[in-house]
């Protein structure tokens, strides 16, 4: 489901549950828990939900955040905790409520500025490479190089250099490897034909899938499935032959 928005004041959105994406100023960003977006007044943006997204939305005037339009990660979780406290304070009726709300808004803006500044700094190369590989594994390779670079806030060229230097392989090679690993699992399950497995794992055609599968594993998808199917039968025959063998001293 796609939702389109434009707001009269700057909006800070903090995502607390679910996954999806948001397009802001022509760039589509993946959103998930601990991600927040800053959208200036009058700026159109959209939201696509992969799973049911839950977020906290705050309209803020005169915050100074206008020049930081974009999507960022709340690495330490401090901003998320302040957003939750602010949402709870706004929903309640308490003594000195407005004073508390004003203080929490200032704290939220300050923490957002810090998170923006931290996102602009490149983390150590090893940490960044590990994060890239974690994302590829978590998504079973169902992520593009462009999407990966957006999530890590680095250019595609830098990401290629980073993974090539740390692992000797390109981002695309890691992505294809993760897709092949997932394909092996689906082939072993035996519920989908080769064409369906290719589509499920993000390959553009069964031919390209078979070519990549053989390049990585040394077997075609059909051969891999047959090998998996034959393994239990071989093991069963081996056990039977052991039971029937004469005893020796």
Bridge partners of 55? 15
User: Cα separation of 86 and 71, whole Å?
Assistant: 20
* pLDDT recorded at residue 238: 57
Give domain status of residue 248, yes or no: no
Q: Which of 135, 150, 145 is nearest to 21 (CA)?
A: 150
The reply to whether 87 falls in a domain is: yes
- The pLDDT, as a whole number, for residue 46 is 83
Six-digit token string for 54: 């839950």
For 17, the 3-state DSSP assignment is strand
Does residue 155 sit in the same domain as residue 84?
Answer: no
Statement to judge: residues 110 and 164 lie in one domain? no
CATH of the domain at 139: 1.10.10.60
Cβ–Cβ contacts within 10 Å for residue 56, how many?
16
Q: What pLDDT, on a 0 to 100 scale, did the predictor assign at position 152?
A: 87
Residue 12: domain span? 2-120
How high is the pLDDT of residue 47? 83
Give the three-state DSSP class for 156: helix
Tell whether 249 is covered by a domain: no
Domain check: are 31 and 97 in the same one?
yes
- Residue numbers of the chain with a pLDDT score lower than 50: 1, 247-249
Cα separation of 15 and 19, whole Å?
9
Regarding whether 135 and 109 lie in a shared domain, the answer is: no
How far is it, in rounded angstroms, from Cα 211 to Cα 153?
Answer: 32
Contact 95, 107 (CB under 8 A): no
Confidence at residue 232, expressed as pLDDT on a 0 to 100 scale: 52
pTM score, two decimals?
A: 0.52
Kindly state the helix (H) or strand (E) to which residue 2 belongs, with its residue range: strand 2-5
Sheet containing 35-39: give its strands across: 54-60, 10-17, 35-39, 70-73
145 and 42, same domain (yes or no) = no
- The answer to whether residues 77 and 181 belong to one domain is no
Q: Are residues 69 and 174 in the same domain?
A: no
**Which residue bears the tokens 């890590």?**
152
How many whole angstroms separate alpha carbon 221 and alpha carbon 192?
A: 12
Over the stretch 195-204, which tens digit does the pLDDT of each residue have?
999 999 999 9
Q: Do residues 104 and 111 make contact, with C-beta atoms less than 8 angstroms apart?
A: no
DSSP state of 122: P
The tokens for 208 are 């390209």
| Residue 169: partners with Cβ closer than 8 Å, 6 or more residues away | 163, 177
Work out how many domains the chain is built from and give that number. 2
The pLDDT assigned to 249 comes to: 39
pLDDT value for 236: 55
What's residue 247's pLDDT? 45
């Amino acid at each position: 489901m796609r939702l389109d928005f434009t707001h009269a004041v700057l909006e800070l959105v903090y995502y607390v549950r679910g996954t999806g994406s948001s397009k802001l100023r022509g760039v589509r960003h993946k959103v998930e828990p601990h991600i927040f977006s800053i959208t200036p007044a009058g700026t159109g943006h959209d939201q696509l939900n992969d799973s049911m997204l839950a977020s906290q939305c705050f309209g803020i005037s005169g915050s100074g955040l206008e020049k930081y339009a974009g999507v960022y990660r709340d690495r330490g979780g401090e901003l998320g905790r302040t957003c939750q406290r602010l949402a709870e304070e706004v929903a309640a009726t308490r003594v000195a409520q407005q004073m508390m709300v004003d203080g929490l808004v200032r704290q939220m803006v300050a923490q957002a500025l810090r998170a923006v500044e931290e996102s602009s700094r490149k983390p150590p190369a090893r940490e960044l490479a590990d994060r890239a590989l974690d994302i590829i594994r978590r998504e079973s390779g169902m992520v593009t190089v462009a999407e990966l670079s957006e999530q890590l806030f680095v250019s595609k060229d830098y990401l290629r250099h980073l993974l090539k230097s740390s692992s000797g392989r390109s981002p695309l090679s890691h992505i294809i490897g993760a897709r092949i690993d997932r394909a092996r699992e689906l082939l072993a399950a035996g519920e989908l034909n080769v064409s369906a497995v290719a589509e499920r794992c993000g390959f553009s055609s069964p031919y390209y899938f078979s070519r990549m599968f053989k390049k990585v594993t040394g077997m075609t998808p059909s051969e891999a499935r047959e090998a998996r199917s034959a393994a239990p039968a071989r093991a069963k025959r081996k056990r039977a032959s052991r039971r029937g063998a004469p005893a020796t001293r």
